[in-house]
Structure 1
Amino acid sequence: MKLTGIILAGGKSSRMGTNKALLKVNSVSVISRIKRELSYYCDSLFVVTNDPGLYTFLDVPITEDHYKNKGPLAGIHAGLSESSTEWNLVVACDVPLINSQALSVLTRIVESKQGRNADVILPIASGRYHPMLALYRKSVLPEVTKAIKANRLKLMDVIHLLNVVEVDERGHGVPEKAWEECFFNMNNPAEYEEICNRF
């Protein structure tokens, strides 16, 4: 199975006060860490952003939203539109502790009996859904497009219309801490400092 990695580098980072993707943890930018982890699982990889000049250093293709100012749903739309593979690993740019233990679980499920009829492989960690680090089948693009055109921009509202396989760490041999860390999204300076102190 071929898999495309789609890094969404769109958000305004208002609570952080600076671009989260470019913050460095142990001398490596968060988005570079994400690129490195995705490269182990994905056959191709690109970034969706409306500031393409900021990410040329990653040396990967870059595409922009087709629908501006429509939030994460527009980023997923742009990514799926650009992708040439059936399955796509969509990742927001603010998950500095992304790790192979969790990613291997998600990618295995795509090829399992569970994933056969799924549209979305949706992780659950710390009691919450994580649609911004999830696997999407390209065939959901029409539903995503319809939602954007109707200005229905809540991602989970769209996901609830699809065939979803929910996944947590149970039964997959992944320690709970490693699973939860993978989906931890860094939103403010205190959380950034906490991450930096781990390295």
Structure 2
Amino acid sequence: MDAEKWTGIILAGGLSSRMGTNKALLKLNGSAVLTHMNNAIRPAVSRIVVAAGPSEAIYTALGDEDFECVKDAYPGKGPLAGLHAALTVSHTEWNLVSACDMPLLQTSFFNGMKRLAAQYPTCSVIVPRVEGRIHPLAGVYHRRVLPLLEQCLIHDRLRVIGWLEEIGCQFVETNELEQVGIGHAELQLSNMNTPEEFEKIRIRLQHSELSSEG
């Protein structure tokens, strides 16, 4: 599956209430977290859409022409609303999705998820399940989920994992991730919701074995 058949979606419209500031704009090694995410996913896709929520103007001001911003059609309804907004404007059937708060994700992760999509062509959603923890905002989403996704938003069924179970999501374990070239999955999928978690991410980005991955 070549890049032309894929859109990258970065979910960056959250309130960042526990962080106390916009997570996507925090600086890591001199660049915004959103820029790190954009750079990681860019080689795997032909276009990147950022679900920006109320932050569209702020992200556009970063001056990064590699992504486009979209507003939620169902504002205030969490990550499912951002996913819906981005899938609605996607030009491809297949999409690589990531939340903006996982800056340790590497291009190898997204390429590996594309390989998994080839192995599970009838699945509409494929996401990692590492050490028993599901990571619903780092995976593969097909546009055919849009009708059911919109029904969840209309009826305020906003639990992401509940919706994934409803639509028969394919959960992939660590061994499957390793088979398609995704190493250090638990580390790559680290996310940051608090200043303390951000500091851990910052240190890991500087010193971890991920620095040598492509």
| Residue of structure 2 equivalent to 1:136 | 141
**The 10-residue stretch of structure 1 (164-173 or 50-59) with the greater mean CA deviation from structure 2:** 164-173
- Name the CA distance, whole Å, in 2 between partners of 1:131 and 1:31: 19
Runs of 4+ in structure 1 deviating by more than 4 angstroms, as ranges, are: 173-176
Correspondence for 2:46 among 36, 43, 50: 43
Write the mapping of 1:172-183 to structure 2, written as runs, cut at 5 A: 172-173=178-179, 174=181, 178-183=184-189
- Name the CA distance, whole Å, in 2 between partners of 1:188 and 1:148: 27
Work out whether 1:9 is the aligned partner of 2:19.
no
Sequence identity, in percent?
Answer: 38
- Please tell me whether the aligned partners of residues 41 and 106 of structure 2 are also in contact (alpha carbons under 8 angstroms): no
- Please tell me whether the aligned partners of residues 23 and 30 of structure 1 are also in contact (alpha carbons under 8 angstroms): yes
Write the mapping of 1:1-199 to structure 2, written as runs, cut at 5 A: 1=1, 2-49=5-52, 50-56=54-60, 57-59=63-65, 60-112=67-119, 115-171=120-176, 172-173=178-179, 174=181, 178-198=184-204, 199=206
Instruction: State the Cα deviation string for residues 6-43 of structure 1 (Å, max 9, x = none).
Output: 11111111111111111111112111011001111011
- TM-score (ref. length: structure 2): 0.86
3-state SS of paired residue (2:105)? coil
Deviation at 1:58, TM superposition (A): 2.2
Q: 1:138 is aligned with what amino acid?
A: R
- Please tell me whether the aligned partners of residues 101 and 179 of structure 1 are also in contact (alpha carbons under 8 angstroms): no
- Please tell me whether the aligned partners of residues 117 and 163 of structure 1 are also in contact (alpha carbons under 8 angstroms): no
Q: 1:179 is aligned with what amino acid?
A: A
- Please tell me whether the aligned partners of residues 9 and 21 of structure 1 are also in contact (alpha carbons under 8 angstroms): yes
Gaps of 5+ in 1: none
Gaps of 5+ in 2: 207-214
3-state SS of paired residue (2:102)? coil
Deviation at 1:175, TM superposition (A): 7.0
- TM-score (ref. length: structure 1): 0.93
Higher RCO structure (Cα 8 Å, ≥6 apart): 1
How many pairs does the alignment contain?
A: 196
- Name the CA distance, whole Å, in 2 between partners of 1:127 and 1:8: 23
3-state SS of paired residue (1:13)? coil
3-state SS of paired residue (1:117)? coil
- Name the CA distance, whole Å, in 1 between partners of 2:42 and 2:138: 15
Would you tell me which structure has more helix in proportion to its own residues?
2
3-state SS of paired residue (2:121)? helix
Instruction: State the Cα deviation string for residues 43-77 of structure 1 (Å, max 9, x = none).
Output: 11111112111111222211100011111110111
